[in-house]
Amino acid sequence: MPEQEDLQEVGGARSFWSGTISFGLVSVPVALFPAQRSVRVSLRMLSPDGTPLKREYYDPETERSLDPGDIVRGYEVEPDQYVVITDDELESLEPQKSRDIDLRLFVKRSDIDPAHFERAYFLVPAGESNKAYRLLAETMEQLDRAGIATFVMHGKEYLIAILAENGILRAETLRFADELRAPTDIGLPEPGSVKPTDVKRFETAIRKLQAKAFEPDELRDRAAERLTELIARKQQEGEDVRISGTPEAQPSGDVIDLMEILKRSLAGEGERKEPKKAPARGSGGARRGGSKAAAEGLESLSKEQLYERARDLDIPGRSGMSKQQLVKALQQA
C-alpha cells in the first residue's frame, strides 16, 4: 500500500499520511496527524450473560444469513430497482494516488466560512530540514492567508484549507458547497429591522456574561464525565459486572500530546525512524512469534487503512466487512 510507506513516527505517535505541499517551485515535505481524538464513552451491545454481540446481514425473504463475500452494493434508481456497482468499478473511479498536496490558490482567512470546516489535522514538517515549512507558515501568517489545496488519501480526493497559527500549519478538510444548507432551505425568515432600544437591552445582558478570555477547559463533555463516573462506581462496587468468555483487548491508556510532537519536530528532534525489516517467509518460528504483534498492529489501523490493505491483497467481500472482519481476513491472508 504505497500511502503507508515512509510514515513519520514522533513521540510515540505515527502519522497516517505523508507527502509534499507543492506550489510553483516550492516543495514542503509534511506528515499528517489528526488534530482531534474521540473521547466519547462507547457502550457495547451484550447478551444477558455478558457476551458481546455482533451484527450480521441476512436476507429478509429467505431469512438466510449472508457471508461478507455474498454482499453486493447497489443504488436505488426506482422503488425496488437497483443498479449494482462492483468493487472493481468503484476502484476504477478512484483518483490517481499521489503524494502531493496541490496548493491551488491563497485566499483571505476571513473569506472561508467556518461552516465549511469539517475535520482538523496537523501538518508536521518531514524530511531532514524544516526551513521551507517555517518559511511557509511565517509568510502565510503575516499575510493572513489560507491555502486551498487538494490531495488524495485512501482512494479519496479531499479539498482542504491550510492555515498557519503560531508557526504551525494546520489542515482543515472542507465541506463542498452542495453539502451546506442555505437559511431559506429550512424556512428561516429574511432579516428584519430591530429597534435601537432592544439592541441596547440585549447588549447589557451580554456584557453581564462577558468573560476576559475564552477558556478551552470550559469545553468539557459533562455527560461523558457523569457516565464514566457511573461506570467506575459500579465496577468498584461489583454491581452489574458481566465477565465474557472472550476477553476483549484493553485499550492503551497512553495519551499522545500532538503539540509536543510538533514542537519536537520543529526543533529537529522528530527524525524519521528506519522501518524494521519484515522476517523472511521461511522463518516460521519468527512468524508465529510475531503473529500477536501483527494482530495488534492491524487493530491499531483505521477501517479505511484496513480496507486499503484488503484491496491490495484482493480479498473478496471486503466492501461489506466490519473493521474486525477486515482484521481477521488480513490475518488469514
Per residue in 269-322, pLDDT tens?
A: 544 444 444 444 444 444 444 455 555 577 777 777 787 787 777 777 776 677
Q: Does residue 109 lie in a domain region?
A: yes
Residues 258 and 290 in one domain: no
45-60 average pLDDT score: 86
| Residue 201 in domain | no
Q: Are residues 267 and 293 in the same domain?
A: no
- Phi and psi at residue 309, in whole multiples of 5°? -65, -40
Q: Classify residue 57: in a domain, yes or no.
A: yes
CA–CA gap between residue 7 and residue 153 (Å, rounded)? 13
Residue 20 sits in the same domain as residue 44: yes
Query: How confident is residue 122, by pLDDT bands cut at 50, 70 and 90?
Result: very high
Whole-angstrom distance, CA of residue 331 vs CA of residue 278 = 15
Q: Are strands 168-174 and 156-165 parallel, antiparallel or unpaired?
A: antiparallel
The answer to whether residue 140 scores a pLDDT higher than 90 is yes
In the prediction, which pLDDT does 144 show?
Answer: 94
Q: Which residues, listed in sequence order, are joined to residue 27 by a DSSP beta bridge?
A: 22
Predicted local confidence at residue 280, as pLDDT = 42
Q: Is the pLDDT of residue 142 over 90?
A: yes
Question: CATH no. for residue 52?
Answer: 2.40.290.10
Residue 136 banded pLDDT, cuts 50, 70, 90? very high
Mark whether 292 and 160 lie in a shared domain.
no
* Domain match, 271 and 290 both: no
Q: What is the dihedral of CA 258, 261, 266, 270, to 10 degrees?
A: -150
Strands (E), 88-132: 100-108, 117-125
37 is a domain residue = yes
- Residues 14, 56: one domain? yes
Q: Find, among 7, 12, 11, 33, the residue nearest to 269 by Cα.
A: 11
The parent domain of residue 148 ranges over: 1-181+254-275
- In this structure, is residue 244 part of a structural domain? no
Structural domain count, the chain: 2
249 within some domain: no
| 258 plus 124 within the same structural domain | yes
Domain boundary among 246, 275, 304: 275
Last residue of a domain, one of 228, 243, 275: 275
The answer to whether residues 41 and 231 touch, using CB atoms and an 8 Å cutoff, is yes
222, three cell numbers: 459533562
Per-residue pLDDT at 261: 61
Say yes or no: 99 and 49 in one domain. Answer: yes
Whether residues 119 and 259 fall in one domain: yes
328, pLDDT greater than 80? yes
pLDDT digits (tens, 9 = 90+) for 83-101: 999 888 888 888 888 888 9
Rounded CA gap, 5 and 17, in Å? 9
Instruction: Tell me the three cell numbers of residue 83.
Output: 443498479
What is the rounded average pLDDT of the residues 103-129?
89
Report yes or no: 137 and 43 within 8 Å, Cβ to Cβ. no
State how far the Cα of 220 lies from the Cα of 225, in Å rounded to an integer. 8
| List of E strands, 126-155 | 145-153
The segment with the largest mean pLDDT, out of 41-45, 145-149, 156-160, 222-226, is 145-149
CB 171 within 8 A of CB 33: no
**Mode of pairing for the β-strands spanning 17-23 and 100-108:** parallel
pLDDT > 70: percent of the chain: 79
pLDDT for 137 equals: 93
Q: Does one domain contain both 55 and 118?
A: yes
Q: Count CB atoms within 10 A of the CB of residue 125.
A: 25
In a domain, 235, yes or no: no
Is 165 found in the same domain as 302?
Answer: no
Q: Is residue 135 part of a domain?
A: yes
Beta partners for residue 103, in sequence order: 149
Quick one: pLDDT at residue 295? 56
Q: Are residues 80 and 113 in the same domain?
A: yes
- What is the per-residue pLDDT for 112? 92
Give the pLDDT score at 49.
81
